[in-house]
Amino acid sequence: MNEILYNRKKGIHLSKLGIYMFLIFQGAIMSFPLLIMIISSLKSNREIFKNPFSFPSSLNLENYSDLFIKASYGRYFLNSLIVSSCAILIIVATSSLAAYAISKYNFFGNRIVFFYFLAGLMIPIRLGTINILQMFIKMNLYDNLISLIIIYSAMGIPPGILIFTGFMQEIPDELSDSARVDGCSEIGIFGKVIAPLIGPAIVVVAVYNLIPIWNDFWFPLILINSDNLMTIPLATARMFGKHETNYGLVFAILTAAAVPPMILFASLSRYFIKGLTAGAIKG
């Protein structure tokens, strides 16, 4: 009997060891491109092509100094920050209120409204690029950051509603009923009862939408023309010259651009995982 238990425990330990080894291997594969990007940002063009995978011969911070002086990175960073933060605020506010109505109220066409929003997940918004461009030109919003905020908000609301609806369905209705008995309004119920309980879901929606918004190149390319309104991906693409490209500066831009999402995810990863787990429990 003891031998059977010993063998079973040994098998469990070996399986855990195998899982850990696999995760370490996966982490190394995913970290390698980031490491190369950071190392290359500390090199000159000549050294990048001469020794692409080696560490820099000397610490060269010239690319990072040029980042704000020659490349106007501060302006591009601010543009991306404004667009991303405004779009995420709109996505969280709109999708949470819509999900509250869908999940907590029974009305005619409830499921139809829900599936209408879900259709936004199945139809790529880029299919309507020409019509979107024409619409913003008529609205005098071409070459304006507001156009990007509108587009990204429209892209993020459908998945936001899906995440918030699944999360709010797990909140007992008794909490809302108790608040109504105490005379709390519907807006008050949402703000004082529901909102404090959906913190992990808010983190999931914010992180889920931040990465594609922060890294999007397509819509800034279509809707932005002025140099001072460019976002980071569009400005980075303009760094590739026809005859010569400063790859060290490009890698420095990419490294600096990767820092905010990484910091946000690292600081909110605990809530992000909790929100994903909570949303997955509901069948």
Mean pLDDT, all residues of the chain = 81
Of residues 128 and 9, more confidently modeled: 128
pLDDT of residue 140: 92
Mean pLDDT, residues 15-32? 81
Q: pLDDT by residue (tens digit) across 187-232?
A: 888 888 888 888 888 888 888 888 889 989 999 999 998 888 999 8
pLDDT of residue 282: 44
Q: Is the pLDDT of residue 136 over 80?
A: yes
Q: Smallest Cα–Cα separation from 164: which of 112, 88, 101? A: 101
Q: Could you give the angle at the alpha carbon of 13 between the alpha carbons of 10 and 14, nearest 5°? A: 85
pLDDT of residue 283: 40
Q: Enter the pTM of the model.
A: 0.79
What SS3 class is residue 202?
helix
Q: Is the pLDDT of residue 272 over 70?
A: no
Whole-number percent of the chain with pLDDT over 70: 87
pLDDT of residue 4: 57
Q: Is the pLDDT of residue 281 over 60?
A: no
- Per-residue pLDDT band for 79 (boundaries 50, 70, 90) equals very high
Of residues 67 and 5, more confidently modeled: 67
Residues 90 and 161 sit within 8 Å (Cβ to Cβ)? no
pLDDT of residue 242: 57
Mean pLDDT, residues 105-117? 80
Lowest mean pLDDT among 103-112, 230-239, 267-276: 267-276
> What is the Cα–Cα distance from 32 to 214, expressed in whole angstroms?
22
pLDDT of residue 279: 47
Of residues 138 and 126, more confidently modeled: 138
What SS3 class is residue 177?
helix
Which amino acid is it at 176? S
Q: Is the pLDDT of residue 152 over 90?
A: yes
The dihedral region occupied by 204, where left means phi > 0, alpha psi between -120 and 50, and beta the remainder, is alpha
- Per-residue pLDDT band for 150 (boundaries 50, 70, 90) equals very high
Give 274-278 contacts, CB < 8 A, sequence gap 24+.
274/200, 275/163, 275/167, 275/200, 275/201, 275/202, 275/203, 275/204, 276/204, 278/167, 278/170, 278/200, 278/201
